[in-house]
């Protein structure tokens, strides 16, 4: 493809034209050299969108829930974008295809934009590309940007937890998993949703969650957000209005307690550090036209040098 006129592209994206939005996301997803220029052009027009993360273990109905949430937010007149974060593992192809097909019910709605993002192979790819894509959607005037993780790896969860509000989806019959994983789940959830609430075991799941939350609260000092637990049957829309309401209440709490700025600062810290590290990584790999890292690695294989000593030399040379 020819090099696009960025000014024109940004202008069109700000008018909400889907092709321009999609093109800009492709450019930031592929780590194009224009990434920095795009961010600079978009930055003045951002800061308005609410960023909502949505995550949970496989089988809880994440894409059905995302779709139902989309419908509910649209009914309130909001423009909504969805970023579905693909796990870049080689074993994840099948599920995704299903997600994309299910999303087609919103395909003709101009107030909805849906995009899958996959970033294979390069260090920190997801943590650099995702905030850039959010920036594009924010500047394009979407009121809500939903980041849905399809995968459950650490990097996917890290991306979601940097949202303004994070929804953790669970479903009945996962009691053991919740127990074993409780620390992590409590840490990232602002709103709990127990989906498939018409199934056996929903009460037990809600009960387990309540107990976990109340135990965790005892360790807290001062006032804090009370993580609500909403029951839904996403497949028929039951309870989804309450999720929207819980998110609204959380957003109000965030702004009322200075927490929104704190979260956005944390997100910006992570973003700036990830960009800097990616650049440093490229510089390390390029030292002496790429020969230096290879040479040091070969000395490690030959057991002449341990890897920490090799890394020390690399860092020293990078700085000189």
Give, as ranges, the residues between 5 and 64 that touch a copy of itself (CB under 8 A): 35-36, 39-40, 42-44, 46-47, 56-58
Which of 6, 78, 216, 300 is the binder for a copy of itself (CB under 8 A)? 300
Which of 89, 104, 236, 255 is the binder for a copy of itself (CB under 8 A)? 89
Q: Tell me how far, at minimum, the Cβ of 28 lies from a copy of itself, in Å.
A: 11
Nearer to a copy of itself, 8 or 298 (CB): 298
Does residue 91 belong to the site contacting a copy of itself (CB under 8 A)? yes
Q: Which stretch in 73-81, 82-90, 208-216, 238-246 sits in contact with a copy of itself by CB under 8 A?
A: 82-90
Sheet strands side by side (includes 50-55)? 112-117, 80-85, 144-149, 50-55, 165-170, 191-194, 229-231
Q: Tell me how far, at minimum, the Cβ of 167 lies from a copy of itself, in Å.
A: 14
Residues 252-291 that bind a copy of itself (CB under 8 A): 261, 264-266, 268-269, 271-273, 275-277, 279-281, 284-285
Q: Tell me how far, at minimum, the Cβ of 235 lies from a copy of itself, in Å.
A: 21
Number of residues that bind a copy of itself (CB under 8 A): 82
Question: Rounded to an integer, what distance in angstroms lies between the CA atom of residue 214 and that of residue 92?
Answer: 36
Q: Tell me how far, at minimum, the Cβ of 313 lies from a copy of itself, in Å.
A: 9
Residues 203-242 that bind a copy of itself (CB under 8 A): none
Query: Site map for a copy of itself, 124-153, x if CB under 8 A?
Result: x------x-------------------xxx
Q: Tell me how far, at minimum, the Cβ of 135 lies from a copy of itself, in Å.
A: 9
Q: Tell me how far, at minimum, the Cβ of 2 lies from a copy of itself, in Å.
A: 23
Please name which of 6, 60, 52, 20 lies closest in space to residue 144, comparing C-alpha atoms: 52
Which of 75, 199, 226, 307 is the binder for a copy of itself (CB under 8 A)? 307
Q: Which stretch in 106-114, 192-200, 248-256, 293-301 sits in contact with a copy of itself by CB under 8 A?
A: 293-301
Q: Are 254 and 260 in contact (CB under 8 A)?
A: yes
Nearer to a copy of itself, 6 or 284 (CB): 284
Which of 78, 213, 249, 293 is the binder for a copy of itself (CB under 8 A)? 293
Query: Site map for a copy of itself, 177-196, x if CB under 8 A?
Result: x-xxx-xxx-xx--------
């Amino acid at each position: 493809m020819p090099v696009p006129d960025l000014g024109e592209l940004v202008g069109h994206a700000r008018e909400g034209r889907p092709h321009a939005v999609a093109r800009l996301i492709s450019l930031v997803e592929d780590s194009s050299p224009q990434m920095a220029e795009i961010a600079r052009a978009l930055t003045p027009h951002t800061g308005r969108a609410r960023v909502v993360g949505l995550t949970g273990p496989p089988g809880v109905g994440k894409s059905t829930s995302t779709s139902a949430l989309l419908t509910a937010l649209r009914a309130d007149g909001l423009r909504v974008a969805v970023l579905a974060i693909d796990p870049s593992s080689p074993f994840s192809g099948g599920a995704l295809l299903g997600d994309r097909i299910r999303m087609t019910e919103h395909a003709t709605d101009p107030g909805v934009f849906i995009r899958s993002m996959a970033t294979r192979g390069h260090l920190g790819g997801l943590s650099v590309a995702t905030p850039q894509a959010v920036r594009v959607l924010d500047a394009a005037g979407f009121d809500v940007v939903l980041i849905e993780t399809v995968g459950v790896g650490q990097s996917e969860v890290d991306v979601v937890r940097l949202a303004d509000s994070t929804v953790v989806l669970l479903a009945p019959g996962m009691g053991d998993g919740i127990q074993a994983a409780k620390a992590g789940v409590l840490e990232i959830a602002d709103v709990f949703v127990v989906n498939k609430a018409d199934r056996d075991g929903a009460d037990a799941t809600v009960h387990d969650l309540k107990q976990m939350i109340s135990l965790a609260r005892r360790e807290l000092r001062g006032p804090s957000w009370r993580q609500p637990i909403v029951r839904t049957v996403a497949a028929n829309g039951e309870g989804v209005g309450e999720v929207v309401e819980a998110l609204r209440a959380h957003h109000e709490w965030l702004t009322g307690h200075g927490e929104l700025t704190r979260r956005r600062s944390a997100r910006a810290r992570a973003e700036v550090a990830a960009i800097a590290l990616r650049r440093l990584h490229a510089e390390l790999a390029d030292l002496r036209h790429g020969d230096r890292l290879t040479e040091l690695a070969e000395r490690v294989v030959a057991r002449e040098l341990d890897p920490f000593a090799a890394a020390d030399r690399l860092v020293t040379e990078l700085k000189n």
